[in-house]
Chains A and B, each alone.
Chain A
Amino acid sequence: AQTVTQSQPEMSVQEAETVTLSCTYDTSESDYYLFWYKQPPSRQMILVIRQEAYKQQNATENRFSVNFQKAAKSFSLKISDSQLGDAAMYFCAYRSPRGAGGTSYGKLTFGQGTILTVHP
Chain B
Amino acid sequence: DTGVSQNPRHKITKRGQNVTFRCDPISEHNRLYWYRQTLGQGPEFLTYFQNEAQLEKSRLLSDRFSAERPKGSFSTLEIQRTEQGDSAMYLCAGGLGETQYFGPGTRLLVL
Q: How far is the CB of B99 from chain A (nearest CB, A)?
A: 6
Partner of B45, one of A4, A35, A45, A108: A108
Residues from chain A with Cβ under 8 Å of B45 in the complex = 107-109
Instruction: Say if the beta carbon of B104 comes within 8 Å of chain A.
Output: yes
Chain B contact surface mostly: strand
Nearest 5 CB-CB pairings of A with B: A110-B42, A45-B102, A107-B45, A44-B104, A99-B56
Chain B interface residues (CB < 8 Å from chain A): 1-2, 31, 33, 35, 40-45, 48, 50, 55-56, 91, 93, 95, 98-105
18 A-B pairs (CB sep. < 8 Å) = A44-B103, A44-B105, A45-B91, A45-B105, A46-B2, A47-B99, A47-B101, A99-B48, A105-B48, A105-B50, A105-B56, A106-B100, A107-B33, A108-B43, A108-B45, A112-B41, A112-B42, A113-B40
Chain A interface residues (CB < 8 Å from chain B): 4, 33, 35, 37, 43-47, 50, 52, 91, 93, 95, 99-100, 103, 105-113
